[in-house]
């Protein structure tokens, strides 16, 4: 480990940029300029990422969305997953999937997996308020390893997810007006690509602090047209999250950036988005106010019309930029 740090330091000095030493502290980071950034994994542990590190193309070919796993949870099996496999109709029939119920899909971010804490947090919140099908997508193969490789894998992972959802609804029943896709960080861009692949039919798509590094101006990023209603909840804009209003509705709690109340660094601020969303599903108490522009949103100076942030309402609709203030601890 000491040798690795020395080697990284040598590379950094050659590149003219010092390696940040304090885990989770991204105060040095300048979007589009900085080479290094601290990123949390699925357990919220920070890792130093080299945004200039080259990607092995052979790894990309091996790690794609064909290896996605789809874990079903319902009120009949709230804690024990049932795996549904695409093109295996019996895996639907032998599960608790019910096409007459809402379908919520949760997608983790970089270095996460189906067991990452954010999945259970959101799953439990949703099942507490709705008798629904909740599918947790495990895309750990492409997600784990180099961040740059995971970024490159996102479109393929999302396309496979989109194809799976089309197959599931065609063979297991369901209604696109009852579909809500939720993704955190890189997972936000995954659900965007899934919604696009499915023809924009999903009723709702929610991006939880969509990943920022390498996503500004990226054509594979989450878009406002990827679903009937697409929202983004920004909590670490300009660092680990994207500040741009890429959804149809964009929420900027506490200015949409570090430091979120109760947080000491951007890793915490980035990870706050799933908690805010889970809380909103349970209580629907976050009241966004329409902003005239992004500057108002960043400074929490918005006084326009109201729109609730998050929640589980499938026919929710709205557009624009919204600012609001939250608390520092659950339920915020």
Give the DSSP letter of residue 255: G
Determine, yes or no, domain membership for 44.
no
We report the CATH number of the domain holding residue 275 as 3.40.50.1820
What contacts 91, CB < 8 A, 6 or more positions away?
83, 84, 85
Tokens at 296, concatenated: 């108002």
Could you confirm whether 43 is annotated as catalytic? Answer: no
Compute CA 84 distance to the chain's CA centroid, rounded to the nearest angstrom.
22
Tokens at 43, concatenated: 């357990």
- Identify the band that residue 310 occupies on the pLDDT scale cut at 50, 70 and 90: very high
Question: Within 13 Å and on the Cβ side, how many CA atoms surround 17?
Answer: 15
Which own/partner contact pairs does 49-52 have at CB distance under 8 Å and 24+ positions apart?
49/147, 49/213, 50/8, 50/11, 51/147, 51/148, 51/213, 51/214, 52/15
Could you confirm whether 209 is annotated as catalytic? Answer: yes
Closest CA to 213 of 293, 310, 146: 146
- Identify the band that residue 9 occupies on the pLDDT scale cut at 50, 70 and 90: very low
Report in angstroms the alpha-carbon separations of 121 from 131, 164, 195. Answer: 16, 24, 23
Closest CA to 132 of 164, 96, 88, 90: 96
Q: Which of 41, 138, 209, 236 is catalytic?
A: 209
Closest CA to 252 of 217, 302, 204: 302
Could you confirm whether 266 is annotated as catalytic? Answer: no
Condensed to tens digits (0 to 9), the pLDDT of residues 123-134 reads 999 999 999 999
Q: How many domains does the chain have?
A: 1
Q: Which of 91, 95, 116, 185 is catalytic?
A: 185
In terms of C-beta density within 10 A (0-12 exposed, 13-18 middle, 19 or more buried), how is residue 318 classed? middle
Determine, yes or no, domain membership for 45.
no
Task: Please compute the mean of the pLDDT values over residues 254-283 and round it to a whole number.
Answer: 97
Determine, yes or no, domain membership for 125.
yes
Q: How many CB atoms lie within 10 A of CB 81?
A: 19
pLDDT attached to residue 17: 74
* Secondary structure (3-state) at 47: strand
Q: Is the pLDDT of residue 3 over 50?
A: no
Determine, yes or no, domain membership for 43.
no
pLDDT attached to residue 18: 84
Give the DSSP letter of residue 2: H
Determine, yes or no, domain membership for 308.
yes
What percent of the chain has pLDDT above 70? 94
Condensed to tens digits (0 to 9), the pLDDT of residues 44-103 reads 899 999 999 999 887 777 778 999 999 999 999 999 999 999 999 999 999 999 999 999
- Say if CB 304 and CB 292 are below 8 A apart: yes
pLDDT attached to residue 10: 38
Determine, yes or no, domain membership for 127.
yes
Determine, yes or no, domain membership for 4.
no
In terms of C-beta density within 10 A (0-12 exposed, 13-18 middle, 19 or more buried), how is residue 203 classed? buried
Determine, yes or no, domain membership for 207.
yes
Higher pLDDT, 135 or 7: 135
Tell me which residue range forms the domain holding 216: 55-324
């Amino acid at each position: 480990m000491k040798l690795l740090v020395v080697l990284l330091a040598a590379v950094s000095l050659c590149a003219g940029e010092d390696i940040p030493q304090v885990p989770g502290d991204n105060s040095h980071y300048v979007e589009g300029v900085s080479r290094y950034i601290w990123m949390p994994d699925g357990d919220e542990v920070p890792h130093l990422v080299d945004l200039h590190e080259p990607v092995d193309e052979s790894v990309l070919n091996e790690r794609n969305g064909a290896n996605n796993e789809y874990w079903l949870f319902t009120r009949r099996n709230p804690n024990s997953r049932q795996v549904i496999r695409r093109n295996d109709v019996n895996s639907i029939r032998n599960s608790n999937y019910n096409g007459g119920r809402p379908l919520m899909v949760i997608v983790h971010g970089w270095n996460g997996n189906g067991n990452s804490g954010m999945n259970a947090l959101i799953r439990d919140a949703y099942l507490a308020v709705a008798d629904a099908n909740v599918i947790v997508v495990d895309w750990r193969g492409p997600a784990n390893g180099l961040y740059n490789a995971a970024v490159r894998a996102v479109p393929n992972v999302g396309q496979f997810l989109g194809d799976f959802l089309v197959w599931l609804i065609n063979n297991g029943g369901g209604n696109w007006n009852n579909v809500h896709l939720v993704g955190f960080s890189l997972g936000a861009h995954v659900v965007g690509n899934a919604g696009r692949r499915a023809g924009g039919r999903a009723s709702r798509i929610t991006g939880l602090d969509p990943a920022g590094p390498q996503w500004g101006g990226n054509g594979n990023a989450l878009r406002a047209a990827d679903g009937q209603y697409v929202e983004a909840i920004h909590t670490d804009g300009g660092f680990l999250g994207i500040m741009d209003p890429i959804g149809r509705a964009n929420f900027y709690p506490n200015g949409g950036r570090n430091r979120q109340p109760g947080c000491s660094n951007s890793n915490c601020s980035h990870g706050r988005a799933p908690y805010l969303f889970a809380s909103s599903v349970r209580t629907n108490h976050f009241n966004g106010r329409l902003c005239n522009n992004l500057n108002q949103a960043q400074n929490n100076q918005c006084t326009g019309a109201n729109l609730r942030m998050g929640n589980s309402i499938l026919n929710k609709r709205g557009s624009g930029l919204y600012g609001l203030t939250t608390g520092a601890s659950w339920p915020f």
